[in-house]
Chains A and B, each alone.
Chain A
Amino acid sequence: MRSKLRLLILFWLLSGVALAQYGPGVYTPGEFQTTNPYYLLPNPFYFEGRIDWNLLGITTPTNAWEYMERAIHYQDDLGDTQSAIADYETGLTFNSLQNGSCQIVTPATLVNGALPTTLNPAPCIFTLRLRLGYLEQQPNPAQAIQLFQEVTKIDPLKLGINSLIGETYVIEAQQTTDPVAQQQAYANAIQAYQAELALSPVTSQSIALTGDLANNAHVHWALAQIYQTLGQVSSAISELQLYLQATQWHSDVYPWRIPLANALIKTLQATLH
């Protein structure tokens, strides 16, 4: 029995020696990940939105992207809108079309037909503008519109931006007491919403592939509301009908809008007769 115990102890000692080989001071796989100079870098166009702030390990932001990420942290994680706005604004000073600290990537950016390895100045960041613009929609719609319009320059094909512009013009129209300015704001909103629709047009091909006779339900709903406000009944009915077509196979986050659209169409049609 004692010899068995000795053997057991000997084995434990040996296994302890074996396991001790993996102690501190030896290269550990994955160690690199914690200080990986690539992993958490922005993509070359700063096109991603949020990177989790706790992973970045940034003490003090030093450039537009870092200020934006801290602002996102303030806004999304802490609900601190004021700090977020301050950081978005600071970020913009590092990434401004006006002061030339950012550039829009166009054919002129290419060198011998290819993208240069380094883009200097850095590409203009759309997330920075969109997030600040959204927070400024109510208090400062004009500034919000300007920011959104810069995004349409950075990436004219990006969906949803013209809708945001349209939505902000509606806010501007609702806030103003000047009838002329109000009419102009609504006209601008209609133009913006139509620009949004043009980016994802309903074509014979799209109908054949999806069965959808219309898309962008929320754009049509918004346009219908504007036309109702402006007293343009036929246009309002038309947009409500497009809304119903767009929701036929997709419903809506507010599904009660679908029976409401049907009811409104009937009411509006009655006013035409």
Chain B
Amino acid sequence: MMAIRSCVAVALVAAGCAIELGCGTSQTAVTNVTNPVQFQAQPFQRPEACLPCHQRQFDELRQAVKAGYRNVSPLFNGLEAAGNLINGGLLRPVYSDSTIVLPDGTLLNTNMFSSPILTEPRQVQAGFCVTCHNADIEMNGENPHTREVPALSGLGTMFNPTIFRPLRDYAMLDSSGNQLIPPQIGEYPPAGAQPSLGAAGITCDFCHDQNGPNLNRSFQHDGFGNTSLYLNPSKEKVGPFLFPVGVKNNFHVASNDTNKIAFLRAGAFCNTCHDVRLPNLNLTSHEVNINTGGSKVNVFRLENLSTEWQIGPYNSTNNPFGKVVRCQDCHMSMFPYAESSSYQVGDMSVTSPTPAVFPTDYAAVPGVSTDQNYPLQKRPVVTHFFTGVDVPLLSATELQARLGSTYPDPYANSIDTHGLPVAIAVRRQDLLQAATRVSLAKSDTSVVAGQSFTVRVEAVSLTGHRFPAGFSQERTAYIQLNVTDANGFVLYQSGYVVDKPHPNTGESAPDGNLDDEDIEHVHAVVDPGHFASGAYTPGTTTNGGNNVVFELGPDDGPEQRVFEGRPEGLVLFRNELTHIFLPCPTTPTNPPCTTDLVGRTDAQGNPIHAQTAHFEETFNAALANSVDNFRSLQPLQPRTFDYQIQLPTQSELQALGVTLKGPLQVHVQVNFEHFPPLFLRYLAQTTGPGGPTGIGLGLVTEQSIDSLLKNIQDISESDTTVNLLP
């Protein structure tokens, strides 16, 4: 008997290896689940329930954005709050006991996750953020006794911003395990508070309870986006390989459903959440929900990461590694700490970390996890770091106050048993340093004094999707270029930042910090809105969101490069959320038309009205009605960006008292910000006491931006010299 068991174990390890090495293709065929096998129901487990047998995975996952701090992040909470403050709370989930009636007389009692088919834009809005961040919490919420995030008591014009709480107010428990809501809205966690199930975000159970894609809930019936999957909280846990050893005390059973296993291992699993499509309410349609009954739901793309991967070279064998590289191969492997590979992309020679190299370890803790203490074999395993581009804007102290006293310091310098760095801050920096390469090899090699020359920066993304990706309209990657003479005299700079005051958030003088400064292509201040006594009115009139300051800066590259084709100024890889303002009818309407109000005044103080369709960058996704997702870098498609640079004339140099010394030094580097400071300042204001709530939600402040926002400089670089001819 023992021999047979050993043999099966060997076979399992071998099979696991085989699947790990790519037998399970990323192009996993899936259909809606029919007649699923029913397993005994099991409530969603806290990750701590998995810890005794899966310590390594628990420790890794706790560092991950999605399962660690994200749901208590002031940014996520601020974004969700800002959207709600503008539209009257429509982004909060509703449940089956809702009595809200839609304009057509039907009940709004399903949310984005629980709607079988999304037939109403309001269903997409209901729980829009929570669904991807915490679909299990929405499922639990159908039972009022296990409901963590309550439905709001009033929506739209009935919304009351003064009693609106950030989501994280609901993410705490007292010592008895009961929900602990802080007495004051947005208050620091009371002493002894413990994290709720929802605080943990996408936990072990979310992924291992998946039951395949729910095509009916994806707008193109393709299993992409907006959490279009089935969750089945049961004792059946879907792991990555077949026939694992029995679990001690039958705490759970491992799924042997090959469809579910293959789905878990495929990019298709990630696709269910990593495309995010927003309802498009006030413009002609971009995309329509093609499912039966879905024709009223128009959407446009916010996050487009999965589509980018799906149509990109890494979802094929036409890439430097000659095989499909799945999401898991970079975000659940030893990447970027495995050995390097060298290859050619176009005319660029690249050396970068190799994907799909997995550590060897136990899948569970030997001696405690298996039935009858059956011995485990080491095998290639995935990691659960899910490294991304974020670090928390929370101090280590506050992280521990919200997520438990053992929550790790994001900046702690430690390595795990595989020799991999553990801290999320270290991992994100190393991941980003694997993302791009730049070259100056095509630049002019000489310039005549007083004339112009061209620096050519060739840039390539090595990521599986475009770069940046995800919330790519805020993720900010850009080129910093400096040209000096041999004495260090600065002749040209782009992608620079300047230390300056920020009166709108109370910083009255430069503070010596550059991480809280925006790049200089545009100067914008977003209207944070204000509390209005009397009835709440959805929209921008009192709730802000429009650009109250919007000016081109001295490094205006994005507009010039994209729309004018002009080889000057900032090269910005950030995608762009845009708001198309529509003119109003010439005859008065009831209620008065405000679609033409851009949010600013002219020199005389009169509101500026759009007389034609007007197009402008917006920083609030809730106000966007269009998006440009083509500013980011395509994977493995090198692009060359020209900078036409004019040297000062001889008379200008004389006036300056400068003599240039050659050769000119050209330095280029790619920098990364996870969020632009101006956007954080908007969140600070709109969720602050001066915003529509009138009391503040305790999320972002100038001080927290100053102390916690950490950008990554120089993720790739190149240097060259240019001869200066007389």
Q: Which residues of A contact B (CB under 8 A)?
A: 3-4, 7-8, 11-12, 15, 18-19, 21-23, 26-34, 36, 38-39, 41, 43-45, 47-52, 54-55, 72, 75-77, 84, 104-110, 113, 115-119, 123, 126-127, 130-131, 133-135, 153-160, 164, 198, 200-203, 205-206, 208-212, 215-218, 246-247, 249-256, 259-260, 263-264, 267
Contacts and interface: CB of A to CB of B under 8 A. Distances in A.
The number of chain B residues touching the other chain, given as a range, is 35 or more
Contacts of B550: 159, 200
B523 A253 contact: no
A54 B583 contact: no
A263 B653 CA distance: 11
B270 to A, nearest CB: 11
B597 to A, nearest CB: 12
Interface string B28-49: 1111000000000000000000
27 contacts: A7-B11, A12-B15, A33-B222, A39-B287, A41-B286, A44-B286, A45-B580, A52-B637, A55-B311, A105-B613, A106-B583, A107-B586, A115-B283, A115-B284, A117-B284, A118-B284, A159-B551, A160-B559, A200-B552, A210-B503, A210-B504, A211-B503, A249-B501, A250-B500, A251-B554, A253-B492, A259-B656
A77 B639 contact: yes
A29 B30 contact: yes
A57 B311 CA distance: 12
B702 interface: no
Nearest to A37: B287
Interface of B: 3-4, 6-8, 10-11, 14-15, 18-19, 23-25, 27-31, 213, 220-224, 242, 258-259, 262, 267-268, 271, 283-288, 301, 306-307, 310-311, 315, 489-494, 496, 498, 500-504, 520, 523, 525, 548-556, 559-560, 562-566, 568-569, 578, 580, 582-586, 589, 593, 598, 601-603, 605, 608, 610-616, 626, 628, 630, 634, 637, 639-640, 646, 648, 652, 655-656, 658
Nearest to A217: B554
A49 B628 contact: yes
B613 A159 contact: no
Given A131-B565, A251-B554, A256 B490 contact: yes
Given A32-B222, A107-B586, A210 B284 contact: no
A43 B608 CA distance: 24
A3 B10 CA distance: 13
Given A29-B213, A127-B563, 9 more contacts: A15-B23, A31-B222, A38-B287, A49-B628, A76-B565, A105-B613, A156-B612, A249-B501, A251-B520
B311, B493, B559, B565: most-surrounded residue (chain A CB, <10 A): B565
B258 A198 contact: no
Nearest to A111: B585
Contacts of A203: 601, 603, 605
Contact of A22 (B29, B283, B501, B551): B29
A106 B612 contact: yes
A215 B616 CA distance: 18
Q: Which 8 A-B pairs have the closest CB atoms?
A: A49-B562, A26-B29, A249-B500, A30-B310, A201-B603, A105-B613, A38-B287, A18-B258
A45 B283 CA distance: 10
B14 A8 contact: yes
A50 B401 CA distance: 47
B525 A209 contact: yes
A198 B603 CA distance: 7
A140 B38 CA distance: 74
A59 B615 CA distance: 30
Nearest to B312: A55
Contacts of A30: 27, 222-224, 267-268, 271, 306-307, 310-311, 315
A247 B640 CA distance: 29
A20 B588 CA distance: 65
A49 B603 CA distance: 30
Contacts, number: 295
Nearest to B557: A253
Contacts of A217: 553-554
Nearest to B646: A254
Nearest to B570: A253
A47 B626 contact: yes
A140 B418 CA distance: 65
Contacts of A267: 655
A126 B563 CA distance: 8
Contacts of B503: 208-211
B614 A110 contact: no
B195 to A, nearest CB: 34
A63 to B, nearest CB: 17
Nearest to A76: B565
Nearest to B524: A210
Given A72-B565, A263-B656, A123 B615 contact: no
Contacts of A133: 564
Contacts of A206: 525, 548-549
Given A106-B583, A134-B565, A210-B549, A43 B626 contact: yes
B598 A205 contact: no
Contact of B18 (A15, A36, A135): A15
A7 to B, nearest CB: 5
A226 B274 CA distance: 52
Given A52-B634, A210-B503, A211-B501, A157 B523 contact: no
A157 B25 CA distance: 50
A253 B555 contact: yes
Given A157-B598, A249-B501, A216 B286 contact: no
Contact of A260 (B8, B223, B284, B655): B655
A113 B589 contact: yes
Contacts of A153: 612
B31 to A, nearest CB: 6
